[in-house]
Structure 1
Amino acid sequence: MANPNLRHLRLFLVTVDSGSVTQAAMSQNVTQSAATQALKRVEEAFDARLFDRTSRGVFPTDLARMLAQRVRRALDIMDRACESVSPRLRLTATAAQLRGLVAASQAESLSLGARKLGVAQPTVHRAIVHLESEVGRSLFRRTQYGSTPTRIGQLIAQAAQLAFAELRQAEMELAEAGSRGEMRIMVGAMPLSRTSVLPEAISRFQEACPKVDIRVHEGPYASLLAGLRRGELDLLLGALRPPALMEGMRQERLFEDELAVVCGPEHPFAKAGTVEIAALAASRWVVALPDTPARRQFDAFLSALGPSATGALVETGSQMLMRELLLAGPYLGCISRLQVRGDIDKGVLVRLAFDVHDSRREIGITTRDDWHPTRSQAVFLDTVRAVSQKFGR
């Protein structure tokens, strides 16, 4: 990723807006030659020709105007956070210091944060000390177990992460426009999306956009959502959550799914015409982890079966483990119907004729409210929407 000087970016914006290096130099209180060098550094950082230099002056290119929109958004995010805690911080904080703050916040350790950045621990320590001197307050609580960010530390670190994410978006837009640079879409994917929408969507998308990489992140929903909020992910595919829990997020419904009760083909229930509720309740179950929508729905289902529900549970977020347990022993599984549709169609698993009432849930796309997709990202979103149509609305 480009690692431009923040003061250089401010000077770049003034140059684009005013069309004058002289005015830009005056606005940043530097000489014109220093301003000219700063603009060259910005071009080097983004590996793009941003200005046409003629005898009549310096004129921004189309790439410069494109970059300016993202830079303005990035600096606005950073400035709002900085100004809320210290009027000077927006002008004195450097990108390197903010990266040190972000790394230490994520690792909850200055030494581990330094290791992540590939620098010495004193370098990160000095960065934190400088920021704290400007803010006039501690940004970390130091304990025997490490360093956890304070509320203000978290505020500045998250703003920095979102600002850096906006600059990554800028790099991608420049690459899409023909400048050199990598193009990558970061997708957080819950299990259902990984076995239904995502494979076909990725295949279709890369047929149309063969130079764009897709990086799929897996993990618990809370972890993926946190990554989305920090700007580490572009979008999240999975079950939608109640709007009250999703402040700052935008959710788009694609289709509905429901839970299914499944077993292996050798299970006694697989060939039974009907299954007694008592036998169903007393079975051993493989189910989703606690505090997930699927698990809450299963718990309600199990409770409705009555007090005889005494079967042992295996709790897992792994579809592979569930499948192997169902094939290896007398287990029943309660899982998304679409998630195991392929296994059912191939005869690997058998769906029992037993409905899990009130288990329908909305599946869709989650993004940040203020996220502006690049051209490639917009194409990917449209591809996901198109593939989702086969699963209904």
Structure 2
Amino acid sequence: MIARNLRHLRLFLAVADLASVTRASDLYNISQPAVTQALGKLESQAGGALFTRTRQGFFLTGRGEALAGRASRAFERLDREMAAISPRLQLTATAAQLSALIATVATENFTLAARRLGLSQPTVHRAVSQLEQEAEAPLFQRSAHGLIATRPCQDLARAAQLAFAELAQAEADLAEFDGREAGGIVIGSLPLARSVLLPQALARFRQRRATLPVRVIDGLYDELLAGLRRGEIDVMIGALRNPAPIGDVVQEPLFEDGLAFVAAPGHPLARRARLRPADLGDRAWVVPRAGTPAREGFERFFGAAGQPLPPSILEAGSILLMRELLLRGDFLGCISAHQAAAEISRGLLDRLDIEENLPGRPIGLTFREGWIPTAAQAEMLDLLRQGVADLDRL
């Protein structure tokens, strides 16, 4: 609800900055009753008073400060990209138009964008055309293959996504004032977190907040990173990259993880001590995909001994798939030590006695730079941090 009327939010911020409805109405050249009506609608959506009205002026309540912080951050992102296209957009662009723009950039097609939004194709086409008219410049290049967004258009669409994500967090912040739950948490999960760290944190989180929506998205690193940067994912958890992949994300290490070389229970090599690369080079292996930190560690293990990589390699990032392959064939596996710990403790896999001295890889959290979590999101992050101690007991 909060994100549906950008003009009302701008008026709200003007009143907060100027402490006056009269000055805000003069700034935007609209009537005082119109400003008062906009504030009333926002306060209804926000669940309570945003201002304390006094003879000295309008002053933000705690609820108002929460909304003002989020709205200011949202417009800071939006206005920078709008100004790069046309300053008029700051006055005329609506949330509906920006939603249409986001969907069209993503799908490169008005019809597909309309389906994504549950609207008619003419409605989406008209919304984008209105933005282009105000911008006095094309936002898309029309081609036989679809609509290709210009660079400024791509930047605006991404800024709009992040602005809407910020306003969605405002909904959650405001709900906390009334003891309600709103919003949710979207976690991008890499393989290690799926099997060990995240399940424990989620179980504890549900004991505290039984109904707040939580969505876990499994995927490859690059896909999850793109979702994080677009505001579709709140936080990623898993192996960190060194250096950080791009400047607009922040990484928080939680612990160091090593590698585990594993085999099916009872495998002949599981009974041998001090295995070396020379003992393993002719075996069939199941390992994580190329480019992942675990795969790089596997390759360094053989490279440090001056040996070529085993010729038989099957890529699989899932510990479940790896385990099933090891049980069904004469395979060996290489995977995160913490990820393998639960399988080994349950007797589902045996750990090989390997001579290796590889550096650990950092496991942790990845956020957007400047991201401020809601209270519920902060609780989840704290549970993930606290859960690191449990890993040492596996």
Structure 2 length-normalised TM: 0.91
1:317 corresponds to: 317
Structure-2 separation of matches of 1:179 and 1:128: 39
Would the alpha carbon gap of residues 51 and 109 (structure 1) be closer, same or farther in structure 2, given more than 3 Å must change?
A: same
Matched, 1:288 2:292: no
Q: Deviations over 1:115-170 (max 9, x none)?
A: 11111122222222222233333322333332232211111011111111110110
Instruction: Give the equivalent residue in structure 2 for 1:168.
Output: 168
After TM superposition, give the deviation of residue 43 of structure 1 in Å: 3.2
Partners of 1:176 and 1:376 within 8 A in 2: no
**Structure 1 partner of 2:358:** 358
**Aligned-partner Cα distance in 2 for 1:60–1:359:** 52
**Compared CA separation, residues 55 and 4, structure 1 to 2 (3 A):** farther
Give the superposition deviation at 1:340: 1.2
After alignment, is 295-304 or 196-205 more displaced? 295-304
1:81 alignment partner in structure 2: 81
* Other structure's SS at 1:362 match: strand
Listed as ranges, the gaps of 5+ residues in structure 1 are: none
Residues 319 and 22 of structure 1: is their aligned pair in 2 closer, same or farther, counting only changes over 3 Å?
A: same
Contact 1:198 1:384 in 2 (8 A): yes
Identity %: 46
Is the 1:256–1:363 contact (alpha carbons within 8 Å) kept by the matching residues of 2?
A: yes
Q: Which moved more, 1:39-48 or 1:351-360?
A: 39-48
Does residue 348 in structure 1 map to residue 348 in structure 2? yes
CA–CA distance in structure 2, aligned partners of residues 181 and 16 of structure 1: 26
- Cα distance change on mapping 1:66 and 1:131 into 2, 3 Å: same
User: Which residue of the partner structure matches residue 300 of structure 2?
Assistant: 300
Shift of 1:306: 5.2
CA distance in 1, matches of 2:292, 2:185: 26
> Is contact 1:254–1:389 with CA below 8 Å preserved after alignment?
no
Deviation at 1:248, TM superposition (A): 1.5
Q: How far did 1:355 drift?
A: 4.2
Contact 1:260-1:355 within 8 A present in 2 as well: no
Task: Tell me if 1:368 matches 2:355.
Answer: no
The residue aligned with 2:226 is 226
Could you list the per-position Cα deviations for residues 59-96 of structure 1 after superposition, in whole angstroms to 9, with x for gaps in the alignment? 65431222111111111111111112222121111111
Once the two structures are superposed, the pairs formed by residues 208-247 of structure 1 within 5 Å of their partners are 208-243=208-243, 245-247=245-247
Letter aligned with residue 246 of structure 1:
I
- Alignment check: 8 A CA contact 1:11 1:27 kept: no
Q: Which residue of 1 aligns with 2:153?
A: 153
User: Match of 1:216, SS?
Assistant: strand
Query: What corresponds to 1:249 in structure 2?
Result: 249
Residue type of the alignment partner of 2:249: M
Structure 1 residue 325, shift from structure 2 partner:
0.4
Q: Specify the alignment match of 2:106 in structure 1.
A: 106
Q: Show the counterpart of 1:387.
A: 387
2:129 is paired with a residue whose SS is helix
Instruction: Give the equivalent residue in structure 2 for 1:124.
Output: 124
* Cα distance change, pair 377–277 in 1 and its aligned pair in 2 (3 A): closer
Q: Which moved more, 1:226-235 or 1:376-385?
A: 376-385
Kindly state the Cα deviation for residue 362 of structure 1 after the two structures are TM-superposed: 0.5
Distance 1:46 1:93 in 2: 22
Superposed CA deviations along residues 46-66 of structure 1, whole A, max 9, x for unmatched, are: 454435679999765431222
CA distance in 1, matches of 2:145, 2:301: 42
Please, what is the CA RMSD of the aligned residues? Answer: 2.5
The answer to whether the Cα contact below 8 Å between 1:283 and 1:331 also exists between their aligned partners in 2 is yes
CA displacement 1:15-49 (0-9 Å, x = unmatched): 23334333322222222222232223323444544
1:245 CA displacement: 2.4
